[in-house]
């Protein structure tokens, strides 16, 4: 069978105040196209579907319309779990309607998805806490999915019985996963783990969480080690880290597929992917990275002076930019206006002044005890490099008299 693994859609996310919804629409259209062209049997969405617990209506509509298309009227399995950005209740809410289309959601780590049979030939034939066995329309081989949505401390205590997270998280997950694997997972089917966790090889360097991401890892208490994955698992579909990477330490691949778009400037230049996983019982998975090409590119750029910055901005219109302007003088309002008018995707302009140069210049102190007319003349001089003429002074006097 062939599976498509994706994660970290973060629907509704903004970069600064800039909405990404149009880019998200484009990239999800691209993912639907890949699923259809590759004739995948199932789509696995490994958490952080939304960017917040209360996503905007447009994000909800985009998600539901996308998974409906992915399901192809129940001929293709779609399974999505909650991530640390998601509300488990909101993920579970459309379950009754979604099940009829072969779409299954799991918000809480102790959830049980009830068996169901669809006219398309897709059916959930066995289920347990955090586990489903699926008969797919295109193959007689069963697909077994061990599902672990994200759980914060409250959920860990309430649903998994974990009191001391630092010592117990790996022990409890290992015990639960192994129990399920021993009961349901043998070499007559395809065995998959999908989880939204911070998973690493024990003793390996710990990768950075994405900039702007709600952190899962606090110290080492939330790290989950790959050596606790049951041996029966043939592929682990992970969500949370936004760069494509493999967590080593298990005989089979444990992969973060990446987010579909770059969501912070620390991700600038990253290629984004979905994973196509070809797999059969008792064999290692064959994993293909399929690049995603939709969305604006993100750039962190630094220029000396406004003119060269404007030239680059005009040459790179379809992008989002964090712009640093280096100079030996303070950025003038007119320069800032020209920069903003040159590009519609400037998220932030950071003036970087050479302090030593500024210090070397003679800075005239303004006497704040002067009368208001003299203060105005000093201000005008500092802004326009010339003294106000008689007409301007007369106008200023008129304004004062009207107060």
As a whole number of angstroms, the distance between CA 200 and CA 218 comes to 14
pLDDT tier at 249, thresholds 50, 70, 90: very high
Q: Does residue 287 sit in the same domain as residue 302?
A: no
Note whether residue 65 is domain-resident.
yes
Note whether residue 197 is domain-resident.
yes
β-pair type (286-292, 123-128) = unpaired
- 371 sits in which H/E element: none
Q: Does residue 392 sit in the same domain as residue 338?
A: no
Region class of 365: left (phi > 0), else alpha (psi between -120 and 50), else beta: beta
Q: Does residue 240 sit in the same domain as residue 382?
A: no
Q: Does residue 225 sit in the same domain as residue 155?
A: yes
Note whether residue 366 is domain-resident.
no
Q: Which domain holds residue 381?
A: 372-402
Which among 102, 99, 100, 80 is positioned nearest to 90, based on CA atoms?
80
Residue 159 vs residue 225, higher pLDDT: 225
Chain centre distance of CA 214: 10
Q: Does residue 249 sit in the same domain as residue 130?
A: yes
Q: Does residue 134 sit in the same domain as residue 205?
A: yes
β-bridge partners, 303: 325
Please report, for the domain that includes residue 52, its CATH number.
3.60.21.10
- Whether the per-residue pLDDT at 361 is higher than 70: the answer is no
Tell me: the pLDDT tens digits for 211-244? 655 555 444 457 889 999 999 999 999 999 999 9
Token pair for 217: 């890892």
Chain centre distance of CA 403: 53
Q: Does residue 152 sit in the same domain as residue 183?
A: yes
Q: Does residue 34 sit in the same domain as residue 125?
A: yes
Note whether residue 367 is domain-resident.
no
Which among 42, 86, 17 is positioned nearest to 275, based on CA atoms?
42
Residue whose token pair is 């049951």: 230
Q: Does residue 352 sit in the same domain as residue 379?
A: no
- Whether the per-residue pLDDT at 152 is higher than 70: the answer is no
> What is the reported pTM?
0.83
Decide: helix, strand or coil at residue 287.
Answer: strand
Q: Does residue 19 sit in the same domain as residue 120?
A: yes
Helix, strand, coil percentages, rounded to 5, for the chain: 30, 25, 40
Q: Does residue 240 sit in the same domain as residue 126?
A: yes
* Cβ pair 318, 297 in contact under 8 A: yes
């Amino acid at each position: 069978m062939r599976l498509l693994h994706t994660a970290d859609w973060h629907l509704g996310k903004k970069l600064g105040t800039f909405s990404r919804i149009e880019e998200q629409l484009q990239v999800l259209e691209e993912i639907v196209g890949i699923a259809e062209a590759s004739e995948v049997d199932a789509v696995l969405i490994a958490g952080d579907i939304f960017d917040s617990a209360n996503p905007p209506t447009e994000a909800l509509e985009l998600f539901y319309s996308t998974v409906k298309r992915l399901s192809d009227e129940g001929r293709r399995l779609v399974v999505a779990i909650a991530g640390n950005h998601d509300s488990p209740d909101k993920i579970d809410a459309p379950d009754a309607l979604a099940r009829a289309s072969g779409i299954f959601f799991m918000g809480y780590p102790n959830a049980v998805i009830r068996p169901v049979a669809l006219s398309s030939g897709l059916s959930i034939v066995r289920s347990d806490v955090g586990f489903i066995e699926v008969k797919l329309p295109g193959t007689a081989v069963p697909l077994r999915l061990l599902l672990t949505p994200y759980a914060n401390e409250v959920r860990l205590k309430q649903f998994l019985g974990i009191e001391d997270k630092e010592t117990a998280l790996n022990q409890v997950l290992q015990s639960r996963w192994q129990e399920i694997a021993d009961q349901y997972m043998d070499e007559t089917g395809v065995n998959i783990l999908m989880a939204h966790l911070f998973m690493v090889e024990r003793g390996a360097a710990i990768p950075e969480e994405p900039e702007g991401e709600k952190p899962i890892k606090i110290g080492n208490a939330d790290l989950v080690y790959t050596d606790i994955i049951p041996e029966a698992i043939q592929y682990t579909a992970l969500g949370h880290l936004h760069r494509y990477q493999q967590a080593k330490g298990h005989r089979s691949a444990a992969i973060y597929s990446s987010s579909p778009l770059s969501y912070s400037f620390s991700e600038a230049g990253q290629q984004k992917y979905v994973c196509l996983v070809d797999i059969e019982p008792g064999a290692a998975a064959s994993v293909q990275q399929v690049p995603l090409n939709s969305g604006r590119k993100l750039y962190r750029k630094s220029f000396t002076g406004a003119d060269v910055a404007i030239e680059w901005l005009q040459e790179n219109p379809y992008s989002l930019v964090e712009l640093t302007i280096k100079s030996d003088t303070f950025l003038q309002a007119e320069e800032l206006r020209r920069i903003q008018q040159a590009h519609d995707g400037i998220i932030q302009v950071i003036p970087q002044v050479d302090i030593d140069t500024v210090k070397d210049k003679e800075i005239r102190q303004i006497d704040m005890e002067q009368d208001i007319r003299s203060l105005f003349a000093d201000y005008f001089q500092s802004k326009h490099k010339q003294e106000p003429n008689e007409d301007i002074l007369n106008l200023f006097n008129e304004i004062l008299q009207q107060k």
